[in-house]
């Protein structure tokens, strides 16, 4: 912890994650779609995305439930009880309800009362956005110990008549404990959005007068998203490296949004990072939107790949169109 006279920094002290128990392979998805008269194949999915499996929640399980389990694992890893938390930031595009925030619901499930709790909505960039907000609040002295969470139940907003999107997404949650520190952990952040591209990835529906207006299902222009993502991820990576006065050679690990293996590998190559330094869970998790980065981070930490002192680049890109990066010393 810092002294009252020293500078404030923030550092990740624990990670955690949660996947629902129902695992669907590509073969399961092929059979599900075939029953609806839609053709696809394991080869088609793997070749285009690298995805082999994804996880779906059961009825009655919400984003806050997955988030609560991920948070408990993260707190355990940090050696803390929930009452140490004085800030909760949840990144989600699939909240439990219109309001209150999923963060408030999560706060109650964790038995933490009185601290600030709110949601951040930046779709697949959500965790990077949330981590940036929590870092700023700790550095400003507004908090000392934050839970930063990405949690999603995308299975509930998928159009299972559209094979180009429904095979991509899954459910899950990932969390980190971010604490005030005398030693820099988060080194630099960089966030962006461009609302001109709202239509290429969206769920264009809302609730009005007790009815759903528009469509409550995800729609995506895949080629447009791919084209934008490849460029902006490289730009954000170089921006945080420049802010932190680091170079690509200083990177130990890249943990990008787990959307498509081709986008992820392209980013690594542009940063001249060996592919064995790319953390990839997209094959087993699919695209879990705001949960994908913290899920992948937790997997890599628990596997012993990411170690204390490693320099790690986190990146997200998603609907909005949003993108961003966080550079940190783990």
| Positions marked catalytic | 124, 257, 287
The length of the chain is: 330
Tokens linked to 236? 């954000």
Distance CA 188, CA 112 (A): 29
Rounded-to-10 torsion of CA 134, 80, 111, 66: 70
Q: Give start and end residues of each alpha helix (H) in 55-160.
A: 63-78, 102-110, 126-139
- Pick from 69, 85, 64: nearest CA to 21: 69
Check: CB of residue 318 under 8 Å from CB of residue 258: no
Distance CA 275, CA 313 (A): 14
Distance CA 96, CA 259 (A): 23
- Pick from 73, 98, 101: nearest CA to 88: 101
Check: CB of residue 137 under 8 Å from CB of residue 143: yes
């Amino acid at each position: 912890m810092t002294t009252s006279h020293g500078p404030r920094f923030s550092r990740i002290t624990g990670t955690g994650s949660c996947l629902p128990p129902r695992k669907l392979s590509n073969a399961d998805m092929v059979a599900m779609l075939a029953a609806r008269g839609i053709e696809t194949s394991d080869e088609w999915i793997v070749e285009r995305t690298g995805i082999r499996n994804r996880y779906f929640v059961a009825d009655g399980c919400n984003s806050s439930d997955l988030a609560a389990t991920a948070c408990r694992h993260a707190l355990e890893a940090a050696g803390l009880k929930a009452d140490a938390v004085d800030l909760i930031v949840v990144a989600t595009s699939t909240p439990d309800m219109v309001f209150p925030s999923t963060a408030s619901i999560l706060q109650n499930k964790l038995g933490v009362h009185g601290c600030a709790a709110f949601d951040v909505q930046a779709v697949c960039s959500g965790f990077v956005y949330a981590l940036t907000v929590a870092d700023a609040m700790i550095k400003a002295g507004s908090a000392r110990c934050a839970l930063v969470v990405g949690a999603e139940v995308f299975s509930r907003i998928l159009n299972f008549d559209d094979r180009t999107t429904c095979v991509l997404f899954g459910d899950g949650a990932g969390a980190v404990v971010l604490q005030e520190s005398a030693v820099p952990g988060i080194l630099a952040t960089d966030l962006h959005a461009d609302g001109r591209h709202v239509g290429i990835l969206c769920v264009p529906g809302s609730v009005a007068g007790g009815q759903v207006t528009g469509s409550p299902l995800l729609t995506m222009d895949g080629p447009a998203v791919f084209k934008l993502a490849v460029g902006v991820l490289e730009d954000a990576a170089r921006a945080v490296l420049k802010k932190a006065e680091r170079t690509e050679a200083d990177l130990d690990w890249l943990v990008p949004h787990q959307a498509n293996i081709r986008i992820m590998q392209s980013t690594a190559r542009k940063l001249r990072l060996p592919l064995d330094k790319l953390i990839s869970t997209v094959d087993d998790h699919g695209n879990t939107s705001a949960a994908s980065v913290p899920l992948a981070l937790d997997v890599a930490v628990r596997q012993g790949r990411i170690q204390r002192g490693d320099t790690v680049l986190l990146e997200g890109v998603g609907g909005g169109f949003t993108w961003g990066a966080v550079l940190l010393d783990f």
